[in-house]
Amino acid sequence: MSSKYQSLKEECYEANMQLDALDLVIYTFGNVSAVDRKEGVFAIKPSGVPYAELKPEDIVILDFDNNVIEGTMRPSSDTKTHAYLYKNWENIGGIAHTHATYSVAWAQSQLDIPIFGTTHADHLTADIPCAPPMKDELIAGNYEYNTGIQILDCFKEKGLSYEEVQMILIGNHGPFTWGPTAAKAVYNSKVLEEVGRMAYLTLQINPKAPRLKDSLIKKHYERKHGKNAYYGQN
């Protein structure tokens, strides 16, 4: 009766419910997945199910080639993007996608979010990348799979590391974020939304606001993530 993926489903379920609790989604506008690397599968939200109705047993289990391993519901329409990222980025444990307001506004603006302050530098040292819209033939084709390619291409072109920069904006669409766990992927969605809101306000107050200087970027990132980090309890 009980599934061998029970704890994976519950991790995925809890992370999806966090999206809602953190005001990152309305209705069904988002999805989170969690991976089990040993089993080579990931768990993802079923498509179009409101958060208020979602149950752990609704979560769908797939392999990295998008074959459904367990579950009777149709998985998220964005499933192929998740699968592509899990297949190519071996150190990520969870992925989140939302239509959060400020993140989408920046994506619709087709602009990277400039690094203006230490809230940003506490999490990453680069501007938050916005991938340009993909070519028409790719959109008409295997769209969600190609979105995965679009993300990797953008990281390659900008020379970014997915282990440091755990977020991207898909131009005209919205954010994808990831991390070592599904919970951390959701955390990164919230941080991105807040950093995007702060950057928006900064430019409204001072359109000539300067980018954060390198010494402060380095100091804040290092004190939280460097070899001699002294933020947090270990």
Cα–Cα nearest to 177, from 187, 166, 169? 166
Residue 229 belongs to what H/E stretch?
Answer: none
- For a copy of itself, the binding residue among 82, 97, 173, 184 (CB under 8 A) is 173
- For a copy of itself, the binding residue among 119, 153, 160, 181 (CB under 8 A) is 119
Binding to a copy of itself by residue 231, rule CB under 8 A?
Answer: yes
What's the closest the beta carbon of residue 37 comes to a copy of itself, in angstroms? 26
Residues near a copy of itself (CB under 8 A), total: 60
**Angle, alpha carbons 118-130-60 (nearest 5°):** 100
- For a copy of itself, the binding residue among 56, 117, 129, 148 (CB under 8 A) is 117
Site for a copy of itself in 189-208 (CB under 8 A): 190-191, 194, 197-206
Binding mask 147-166 for a copy of itself (x = CB under 8 A): --------------------
Task: Name the one residue in this structure whose structure tokens are 């970027």.
Answer: 217
Q: Are 98 and 190 in contact (CB under 8 A)?
A: no
Question: What angle, rounded to 10 degrees, do the helices at 143-158 and 79-88 form?
Answer: 40
What's the closest the beta carbon of residue 38 comes to a copy of itself, in angstroms? 29
Which residues, at least 6 apart from 177, have a Cβ–Cβ distance to it below 8 Å? 95, 96, 97, 166, 167, 168, 185, 186, 188, 189, 192
The token pair that represents 87 in the structure block: 């297949």
Binding to a copy of itself by residue 225, rule CB under 8 A?
Answer: no
98-111 in b/e form (b: 16+ CB < 10 A) is bbbbbbbebbeeeb
Residue placing its CB nearer to a copy of itself in the complex, 53 or 90: 53
Residue placing its CB nearer to a copy of itself in the complex, 11 or 78: 78
Q: Which residues bind a copy of itself (CB under 8 A)?
A: 26-27, 29, 46-49, 73-74, 77, 99, 101-102, 104-111, 116-119, 133, 136, 139-140, 143, 172-174, 187, 190-191, 194, 197-206, 209-210, 212-213, 215-216, 219, 223-224, 230-233
